[in-house]
Structure formats: structure tokens, C-alpha cells
Amino acid sequence: MEEKKWTLQIGGRELQIETGVLAKQANGSVKVSYGDTVVLATAVMKTGAASNMGYFPLMVDYEERYYAAGKIKGSRFIKREGRPSDDAILTGRMVDRTIRPLFNHRMRNEVQVIITVLSIDGENDPDTVSMIAASAALSISSIPWNGPIGAVKVGKVNGELVLNPINGDLHEGSLNLVMAGTEDKTNMIESAAKEIPEEEMLEAFEFGQSALSKIASFIKDIQKEIGKEKAEPALLQGEPEFEEKIRGMFMTEKLEKALYIKEKKEMEKAVGEIKDEVFAYIKESYSEDFDKRKDIANLILDEVCDETVHRNIIENDKRPDGRGLKEVRKITIQTGILPRTHGTGLFTRGETQALTVTTLGSPGDEQIIDTMEVDMKKRYIHHYNFPPFSVGEVRFMRGPGRREIGHGALAEKALVPVLPSKEEFPYTMLLVSEVLESNGSSSMASTCGSTLSLMDAGVPIKRPVSGIAMGIIVGKNDNEFKVLSDIQGMEDHYGDMDFKAAGTERGITALQMDVKLDGVTLEMLKNVLMQSKESRMFIMGEMLKAIPEPRKEMSPYAPRIITIQINPEKIRDVIGPGGKVINEIIDETGVQIDIEDSGLVFITSPDQASADKAREWVENLTREVKAGELFNARIVKIMDFGAFAQVLPGQDGLIHISELSEKRVNKVDDVVKVGDMVMVKVKEIDKMGRINLSMKDAKK
């Protein structure tokens, strides 16, 4: 392929796409630069259908490279980069969520998109650049795909919307919104916000959509210029007569009745019986290629169910479980249910249940994040677990996958804006959500459970956060749609959108949106966002009935932390040579001590007595002696001209021979000896910082 380069001004910087330079054996390959952030995206498709695939086999891999930031991986023993960081997994997941809806759902060719970060400038995140690169690589390739899409980041700095803000402005601002979509629709949203009102979020959507259109159009022009002819996809399909026969067997009143059984397991059982009848027919009539025809039948069943759910909601406002379009399922809430944990919240909504447990730790328990992009510490961490029993299944228990990491990150960012500062509440907070049942939106159940658990633990959050999953059903055109509150599993599977919104009474703290169609319009987003607020506030009311505010007292099993501010120049006195002093305090009292460069000292202790003892020790080590103070001091050295006494650890003062007594003293050791405890008064601290003491003045 000939080397070519195209540029577009976006957000005050140049977006550059190059082809014909790198990875030329891929079906599609582009190098995309934005500032000094550079990524390589490749797209490759296998010819022919993958065997035994009941779904479209798309793989998206996002590869971090430490060399991109001029860094060497931290371990002394292992320098090869291994498992991806959570940030890398989340970025790969965003790319997947953006491009997947634009493939034919019947396609069975294996497609792999690999994004490799080659350079990172610290100002322009590679996430949106990666989505643009994936879009460009697919668009110019022979891979059948209904793109292109654009991707942008929208921030709000000093009250003004900013397109693709640099990282510094982004962190200081009140909004971090990532959007992706086509020339006229949005198909992916990921956002963290500091309680942004819904009306302002809609303005951000509109602001971002105009830039998406510009980028998508830019890539479309490149595709027209150099794009390869699209290959014919390998589709999972049967002869028209066969598909028509199977569709007729499924499109019955029996199936529709089964789909509208309210209890999930009973519904699945009834649908399963209908499937078995159809499979029996296929086995009897087409035994030679039963497995393939069974997959086709499963696909047709999915399509029939999708059509049935769409028709009933669009025409009759009829949801599978009989609820109204805005109706939220029954909610039950419990807190403080585990005796030895620091805080618990059990949130149940319909057949979705999440137990979130809070554990409070010392500042030293903060998680150290060391990635290609950042080196930082986290004091608030949320983990999300989705065991197989939550959906009545049997499967191997593995580490968290993309979905678990994504849901945990969403629930985490939802609570960050309402957390107390480290100065107010110095604890490290680890929250773990155990999904015990799932039938729709367990991530938002985890978000609600997090609020309940933190309040139960006595964490003084600024305001409670609630979350809701919204859906949309689109009819024959974009003007015909219905918005659903609190979608359950079937509405998620057969619906056109999964829109998760979390926030406080003041505004939004986190958003996440995925779609199953080519995108949604701004009018759809407006309706979804405003209805989500109404539903969130209803859920918030139910939560506050259970626990109206954070508990005044923490669990007796939670550690106690005392914070002391010392002169930063005194830090070395607390640590001592080779850590001798601080280790002595820790060994003697059983506490944990963390010291920051600013002079903040955090003493974490399992009991108050030990904490008080350690605090007194540190205060004495760092206290600055003042003239006029009295001390019970220990004589540490005798000289001809006087005696040295230790008034505080590491701080000695001189008692001149004339200050030992009101009477005349001939020899110092006639009055004091090494080891004696004497009462002294600080006469002065001279210009050299030396402490002059008096025993005779201490008696006055």
C-alpha cells in the first residue's frame, strides 16, 4: 500500500492518520497521532466461518507498552510486560463497545483488532485516539463493517466545555466524558463527573456529537480514497425455506406467553421447552448437519424474541414483567448484617441482589498504580465479583474478566466525587461487591450497595449516590421509541440500549452507555437522561429510609487513625537513623505509622490507648520547646560548667552551674548526677537554637 497521510484539526490540535508505513500485511492498518501520542491499529479477518460459534467472534486487544512513556517496568526480576492493567482492559472494552454494534450480528468470521500504544505524551490520553484508529483500520480494510465512527473527550473547565482537554485540565475540571459515534448518532458513552446536572450533561452530549460527525466524515473520506472493497462475510444462515419454517415454529402464542412469565427461571424453562420441540424437529428432519442448524435455530429464536419484545413495548407499552415504562422493581435494603466487617449494604431490586462490604485501612494500605500512563495511589478501591451461581449457572471460577473490571470501575467512579478528603477521613477504603443474584443491572445495584455500605461504616460521604439502568426500544424510525426504567435481563438482551446513570440529588457522577443498533440520537439521549433522574431519586428515597445518614460511630472492629501535623523538617527525628526511632515506636505500641512529605503523620491503631501512646511519643519527638515551659528532665551529661538535661526525646538543654540552685554551687555533681530526674524551666532559646534551662527558676 502506498504511504499516505491525512490531517484534521480537532480540539486545537492536529489529528493525523497514516497508512502504508506499518503492519502492511494486516487487512487494515493505520498509525494515528494526536499531539505526541501515537497508536498503531490493525484489523485482520479470517476467511470462512469459525466452527461452533454461536456468536460473532470479535477480539479487541489493547496493548500498553512502557517504552511509549519512556519507562521500564518496575519489578527487579521481571521486565517483560505481562497481564494488562485495569486501565488497559477498560480502554480495550471501550473500543469493543464502540465497534461491535456496527458488525452484522450473523457474521461468523473471526475478526481481531489490535491497538498498540507506541508513544504517549502525558497530555493526550490514547483511549479516544485508539477508538479513532480502530475505526480507520476497519474502514479502509476489506472487513465488512458499517462504520466509520469518531471518538472525542469532553471536559468542563471553569464552567466551559472543552473538546479533548489535556490531562491536567481534565483532572481539575468537573467532567470527563468520552463519546463515540457515527456522523449523526452516539453509540458509546463513558463518563465520570462531579455532580453535573442533567441539563448540563445534555449540552456536553450535543457539544461532543458535532465533533464526532467531523471525525467520522474525515475517516469516510479516507475510506473513499484508499479503502479496499469489502469482502462477503461468512453469515450464519440456512436456506430461506428452512429459516421460514423455523421462524414459523417459534412465532406462536406459546412463545409469547412464555416470554411474559415474570419469574426469570420459570420463563427460561418455558422458552427452553419450546426450543427442545424445535430441536427435536431439526434432528429428525436434518440429522446430517444438526449442530449447524441448531445454531441457526437459536439465532432465529433470538430474532423472534427481539421482534416480540419490540412490538409489544412500541405498540402497547407492554414490558416482559408487566411493569409500567417508568416503574422500578421492588427494592429491599439491609445494612450492618455482618458482625465483624466495618460496613455492609445489601441492596435487592427485583431478582438482582448485591452485597457490598466496606473495609477501612490505614493510609499505608493505599493501592499503588504503576502503568504506562500514570504513577499514583488510590485510597478508594471498588472490586466487583460476579459468581456463576448469581445466574444459576455452573462454570469455573476464574479471575475477573473485562465485564467484572468494567462494572467495578463504573461503581467506583460513581462514588469518588462524594468521598471525604484525606484530611477529613484519612482511611483507605476497599469496597467489594458480591453479586448474589442477577437479572439486570448488577453494577447499579453495586453502586447503591456502596453508598449503603459506606454510610454503615461511618464514612462521612458528602451526599448519597444512587444508580439506575435505563433502556430504549426503537421502532421503525428514530422518532418512534420508548424509554424503559430499571431494565431487567431480557430487556437488556433484546433492547437497543443499556444506559447506566449514577449520581446524587445535585447531579450525575457516572454514566455508561452501550447500544445494539448503529447509535442513538440526541433526542433519545435527552429523554433517557431526564427519565433516569426521576428513577434515581425514587431509589434514593428507598435507600434513605433504611439509613438516612452516615453512622456517627464506626464499627468497634475498624482501626482508629490519629492525624498529627508536624514540621516537615522534624520528619527525620521521627524516623531516626535507619528507621530506628519509628520502628521502636511501632514495636512498643503495635501501631502503624505513615508519614507524608508535607508533615502529616497518620497513626493507625487497633485500640485508642495504643494510638494515644504513639501520638504522645511522636509529639514529644517533634515538639518545639518554648521559653517559660516547665519540664521534668533527665540529666544526661555532667560538665564542669553545668549539666545537660533531656527535656524531650532528642532535645537537650544546658543547666548552667549558676542555674542549678539558689545557693552557690562549687561542683556540678554535688547537686545532680547522670540519670537524675529534675524539674527545669526553659530560660531562653538562643539564636543558635540552643536551649538554656534553669533549676532554680523552676522552683519559683
pLDDT digits (tens, 9 = 90+) for 385-440: 999 999 888 999 888 888 999 999 999 999 999 999 998 999 999 999 999 999 98
Higher pLDDT, 445 or 55: 445
Question: Does position 376 have pLDDT exceeding 90, yes or no?
Answer: no
- Tens digits of per-residue pLDDT, 283-337? 999 888 888 899 999 999 999 999 999 999 999 999 999 999 999 999 999 999 9
Lowest mean pLDDT among 255-269, 300-314, 616-630: 616-630
Q: Are 65 and 118 contacting, i.e. CB atoms less than 8 angstroms apart? A: yes
Q: How confident is the model over 597-604, as a mean pLDDT? A: 92
Q: How confident is the model over 642-659, as a mean pLDDT? A: 88
Q: C-alpha grid cell for residue 490?
A: 431480557
Cα gap 122→376, rounded to integer Å: 14
Question: Does position 75 have pLDDT exceeding 80, yes or no?
Answer: no
Q: How confident is the model over 178-206, as a mean pLDDT? A: 97
Average pLDDT across the chain, whole number: 93
Whose CA is closest to 44, among 58, 55, 54?
Answer: 58
Q: Are 37 and 124 contacting, i.e. CB atoms less than 8 angstroms apart? A: yes
Question: Does position 373 have pLDDT exceeding 80, yes or no?
Answer: no
Query: Cβ of 483: how many Cβ atoms within 10 Å?
Result: 20
DSSP run (H or E) holding 486: none
pLDDT band at 80 (very low <50, low <70, confident <90, very high): confident
Q: C-alpha grid cell for residue 526?
A: 435527552
Cβ neighbors of 541 (< 8 A, separation 6 or more) are none
- Tens digits of per-residue pLDDT, 143-188? 999 999 999 999 999 999 999 998 878 888 999 999 999 999 999 9
Q: C-alpha grid cell for residue 676?
A: 537524675
Q: CA distances (Å), 21 to each of 113, 397, 454, in order? A: 18, 43, 52
Whose CA is closest to 16, among 96, 118, 93?
Answer: 118
Tell me the sheet residues that pair with 155. Answer: 162, 176
Cross-sheet strand order for the sheet of 560-565: 560-565, 600-605, 592-595
pLDDT band at 697 (very low <50, low <70, confident <90, very high): confident
Under DSSP, is residue 77 helix (H, G, I), strand (E, B) or coil? coil
Q: How confident is the model over 370-385, as a mean pLDDT? A: 87
Q: What's the angle, vertex CA 627, arms to CA 626 and CA 633, rounded to 5?
A: 80
- Tens digits of per-residue pLDDT, 581-590? 999 999 999 9
Question: Does position 579 have pLDDT exceeding 80, yes or no?
Answer: yes
Question: Does position 82 have pLDDT exceeding 80, yes or no?
Answer: no
Cα–chain center distance at 290: 44
Reduced 3-state DSSP string for 635-662: EEEEECCEEEEEEECCEEEEEEHHHCCC
Q: How confident is the model over 444-469, as a mean pLDDT? A: 97
pLDDT at 137: 98
Q: Are 548 and 457 contacting, i.e. CB atoms less than 8 angstroms apart? A: no
Looking at residue 71, what DSSP letter applies? -
Looking at residue 235, what DSSP letter applies? B
Whose CA is closest to 296, among 94, 536, 49?
Answer: 49
Question: Does position 54 have pLDDT exceeding 80, yes or no?
Answer: no
Q: How confident is the model over 70-79, as a mean pLDDT? A: 78
Q: Are 145 and 56 contacting, i.e. CB atoms less than 8 angstroms apart? A: no
DSSP run (H or E) holding 687: none
Q: Are strands 58-63 and 111-119 parallel, antiparallel or unpaired?
A: parallel
Question: Does position 683 have pLDDT exceeding 80, yes or no?
Answer: yes
Q: How confident is the model over 547-575, as a mean pLDDT? A: 91
Q: Are 691 and 651 contacting, i.e. CB atoms less than 8 angstroms apart? A: yes
pLDDT band at 15 (very low <50, low <70, confident <90, very high): very high
Q: How confident is the model over 52-70, as a mean pLDDT? A: 89
User: Could you identify the residue written with the cell 472494552?
Assistant: 93
Cβ neighbors of 154 (< 8 A, separation 6 or more) are 161, 162, 163, 175, 177, 178, 179, 204, 207, 208
pLDDT band at 621 (very low <50, low <70, confident <90, very high): confident
Please state, for a pLDDT cut of 70, what percent of the chain lies above it: 99
Question: Does position 222 have pLDDT exceeding 90, yes or no?
Answer: yes
Looking at residue 3, what DSSP letter applies? -
Type of residue numbered 506: R
